[in-house]
Amino acid sequence: MDGSHPDGRGIMHAENDRKLRVYAGIAIGILALAALSSLLVPSGTGQSRCGSIVSQGGKYGCIESAAVSSRNSSLCGSLPGSYADQCYLAIAENTSNQRLCGKINGSNASGECYVYIANYTKDPQLCSSAGSAFESQCAYHIAVMTNNSEACSLVNGTAGQMECNATIEFAKALQYGKPAYCAGIESDNSSYVAYGMLQNVSLSSRFGLELNITRMEEYSIFLNSTIGARDLCYLGMAYQYGNSTYCSYLQDGNLSDACMSSVSPAQTSAANNGSATLNASVIHSLCSNAGANATTCQYGYMSLEALQTGNLSICKGIPSPYSYTCFYYIARKYNDTAYCNYISNATLNSACIGDIQGLYSNST
């Protein structure tokens, strides 16, 4: 990382959140107009049926609906301003016709049009037509989605390109179980790159892996250490495959020792198999070498078992504040804020609810 702009936790993630909100707003607007037109449109076919509608907004919505349903972009030309833009955008998205993006006057709508088609066709070269506000994030997303490291060259800045490439290597290391992908990560062990990698590699199907990485991140704070990009990759592999050998590759000796004391085949079995359980004696054995952190280790494994089995009573058996993490991950797993209510700390309770409801973007 060139150090020029560690301007948030995760270089591309905050911008990605903003774009997703914009896309959602456009989509909702299009759907609302279509719904309105379906209620107001009189009998008839095509554009002719819209002439008798008194409401101007209803008439425009009717014409747009007719254009989209027939995929007749020429009808969009009879609409003014943003109505025409939304009409062209809707047909372009339905037909993947990038030529229609060029007919959109609004720069944001035009950019979103090219981004949509670029993502649908997985063609990063189309991102360049989206404009500077969209090009970099568009290329980053396609690069990660398709494991196409060449597309990372279209991402703005050395730091952004580094994060893009590191994210791809991280995903491939977890998928194929080859540490050589971690070794290929070019990084100064920056935590900013590591944070971006976590945001852009889906760990949703590996809740145990995500929980363990989060625990190790929290533990690193107490050790005054940093989990950087390459370390994160090796750490992920250690937990994913229950192989403590990967822990020895971590640059920080304290983190390497902590990783070795917490990685085991039994833990990985529980992480990857929802029916697997860790009884009290097994947990005690796993944490026997954790020293002063033995209690934290035991509660961590209890949380992991609760997460994998969906057994909320296990979380309830963990004293606060250790139980908060358990309740939070159960809430995340089921996307249900009801589980957040078990968190008695008001600030953390609100944060849990806000996170599940998507109120926080992780931007700084």
* DSSP for 132-160, written as a single string: HHHHHHHHHHHHHHHT-GGGGGGSSSHHH
Alpha-carbon distance of 322 to 312, in angstroms, equals 14
d(CA 258, CA 265): 16
Residue in the structure block whose two tokens are 């506000």: 133
Give me the numbers of helices (H) and strands (E) for the chain, helices first please.
17, 0
Separation CA 26–CA 114 (nearest Å)? 14
Comparing 215 with 294, the larger pLDDT belongs to 294
Residue 165 has pLDDT above 90, yes or no: yes
pLDDT at residue number 364:
31
For 238-253, the pLDDT digits (tens) are 888 878 888 888 887 7
Interval 200-213: pLDDT, tens: 777 655 656 776 67
Q: What is the mean pLDDT of residues 9-20?
A: 49
How large a percentage of the chain has pLDDT more than 90?
16
Q: What is the pLDDT of residues 348-359, one digit of tens each?
A: 888 888 877 765
Which residues, other chains included, contact 339 with Cβ-Cβ below 8 Å and sequence gap of 6+? 312, 327, 328, 330, 331, 352
Residue 260 has pLDDT above 90, yes or no: no
pLDDT of residue 24: 44
Write down the pLDDT at residue 243. Answer: 83
Average pLDDT, the chain: 76
- In this structure, of 25-34, 120-129, 277-286, the range with the lowest mean pLDDT score is 25-34
Q: Where is average pLDDT lowest: 133-137, 204-208, 291-295, 324-328?
A: 204-208
| Domain chopping of the chain, boundaries | 13-156, 164-309
The pLDDT of residue 256 is 82
Amino acid identity of 184? Answer: G
Q: Name the residue with tokens 């990084």.
A: 187
pLDDT for residue 340: 92
| Selection from 27, 54, 28 nearest residue 41 by Cα | 54
Least confident of 125-134, 227-236, 350-359: 350-359
Contact assessment for residue 173 and residue 143, using Cβ atoms and an 8 Å cutoff = no
- Distance (Å) of CA 341 to CA 211, 273, 326, 346: 20, 27, 12, 9
Judged by DSSP in three states, 11 sits in: coil
Query: What's the pLDDT band for 143 if we cut at 50, 70, 90?
Result: very high
Residue type, 66: A
Do residues 64 and 85 lie in contact, with contact meaning Cβ atoms separated by under 8 Å? no
**Residues with Cβ within 8 Å of residue 159, at least 6 apart in sequence:** 1, 2, 3, 4, 5, 6, 11, 192, 193
CA separation for the pair 357, 335 (Å, rounded): 8
Average pLDDT over residues 18-38: 45
Q: Taking Cα atoms as reference points, which of 49, 104, 97 lies closest to residue 76? A: 104
Percent of the chain with pLDDT over 70: 70
Single out the residue of 222, 158, 231, 155 nearest to residue 198, CA to CA.
Answer: 231
Higher pLDDT, 88 or 258: 88
pLDDT value at residue 71: 87
Average pLDDT rounded to a whole number, residues 120-147: 90
Over residues 265-282, the mean pLDDT reads 51
